[in-house]
Amino acid sequence: MKEKLLGKNPEELKAVAQDCGLPSFVGRQLADWIYVHRVRSFSDMTNISRIGRETLAQRYDLGVADPLSAMTSSDGTRKYLFAAPGEGAAVEAVIIPDDERRTLCVSSQAGCKMGCRFCMTGRQGFHGSLDAAGILNQFLSVEESAGLTNAVFMGMGEPLDNYDAVMRAIEALTAPWGFAWSPKRITLSTIGVLPTLRRFLNESRCHLAVSLHNPFPEERLSMMPVEKAYPVRDVLALIRRYDFTGQRRVSFEYTMFAGFNDDKRHADALIRLLKGLECRVNLIRFHQIPDFPYESSSESVMEAFRDRLNHNGVLCTIRSSRGEDILAACGLLAGRHLQH
């Protein structure tokens, strides 16, 4: 298989140019064509010699690929399916329009190893990690590409279990030679993989979202096996060492399950856990999946939970649910065309 250029930085593209017998400044031109002009073929790189373009095309793959399919929800949310590594595997990317915003919910792995019980992606097992090109291609190959304003690494997979590819993609998104996005436009969502979380906090300035879902360790463990290796208390102890009072934000995702994590005891424990931390809690409606014992909490229970947190100094909102009719909502992404 040919090496992909999408995801490479200008230094690496310089080496590519040299490998093809081209002057090293062509590396910079390649970066411009790929990230600024966003061409989809070597033949469009008109300031590179014809012979140079042909050599590049013989030896390398640009790394862009059209989606396999797309679906639009009644609320305007749009879901794309992209081919992924692994036999017949696919990943989904979701565009969430909201007033002026066009947010891309991006996938980092086909399936997931983490096994959260409430998640359709987790249930399908793990098929492979995307490389940086596979991640960036979701930005480049959706119809809304030119108008994207934000990105959330909240699609399929645990981004901190695919750290190098995710960080390489983030570098291309934020570097002046790349998309030149502010890191404030990007949020990475994790269940709290501690070793790479520490690196992410040190090496990036993007926002962080942590999937918390339950303040009690043994209850959280019953839904999220990660609690055993990386307890959420340790995750919070790490987060507290960083500054979230300025530009960078941390939020906590809390999916509401009726009778499991939605009473006063849970709200009070959550308040104690997050006390003094500048953060936001997002309450998420649970979208029913087959063979799962809990339903979503009712609207009134969610509102009471939200109010209790807000009255006790923990900023809390109920996240509006989008794209449920096309299975694009939180926890429902599963590359469904593959489920014969």
Contact set with ligand SF4 (CB under 6 A)? 112, 114-116, 119, 121-122, 156-158, 191
Q: State the amino acid at position 89 in one-letter form.
A: A
Is 92 marked active-site? yes
Count the neighbouring beta carbons within 10 Å of the beta carbon of residue 210. 21
Q: How far is the CB of 296 from ligand SF4 (least distance, A)?
A: 16
Q: Residue 98 contacts by C-beta under 8 Å, 6 or more apart in sequence?
A: none
Q: Quick one: which H or E segment has residue 221?
A: helix 217-223
8 Å CB contact between 57 and 42: yes
Residue, CB closest to ligand SF4: 122
The number of angstroms, rounded, from the C-alpha of 32 to the middle of its chain's C-alpha atoms is: 25
DSSP three-state, residue 154? coil
Q: How far is the CB of 102 from ligand SF4 (least distance, A)?
A: 23
- Tell me the C-alpha distance between 156 and 158, whole Å: 7
Q: How far is the CB of 216 from ligand SF4 (least distance, A)?
A: 18
Q: How far is the CB of 196 from ligand SF4 (least distance, A)?
A: 13
Q: State the amino acid at position 259 in one-letter form.
A: G
Point out the catalytic residue in the list 20, 92, 105, 206: 92
Count the neighbouring beta carbons within 10 Å of the beta carbon of residue 21. 10
* Of residues 114 and 152, the one with the C-beta less far from ligand SF4: 114
8 Å CB contact between 87 and 128: no
* Of residues 55 and 162, the one with the C-beta less far from ligand SF4: 162
Q: Which residue has the tokens 């926890």?
A: 331
Is 206 marked active-site? no
Q: Residue 274 contacts by C-beta under 8 Å, 6 or more apart in sequence?
A: 236, 252, 281, 314
Q: How far is the CB of 56 from ligand SF4 (least distance, A)?
A: 36
Q: Residue 312 contacts by C-beta under 8 Å, 6 or more apart in sequence?
A: 268, 271
Q: How far is the CB of 19 from ligand SF4 (least distance, A)?
A: 37
* Of residues 174 and 211, the one with the C-beta less far from ligand SF4: 211
* Of residues 5 and 224, the one with the C-beta less far from ligand SF4: 224
* Of residues 31 and 156, the one with the C-beta less far from ligand SF4: 156
* Of residues 160 and 250, the one with the C-beta less far from ligand SF4: 160
8 Å CB contact between 205 and 172: no
Active-site annotation, residues = 92, 330
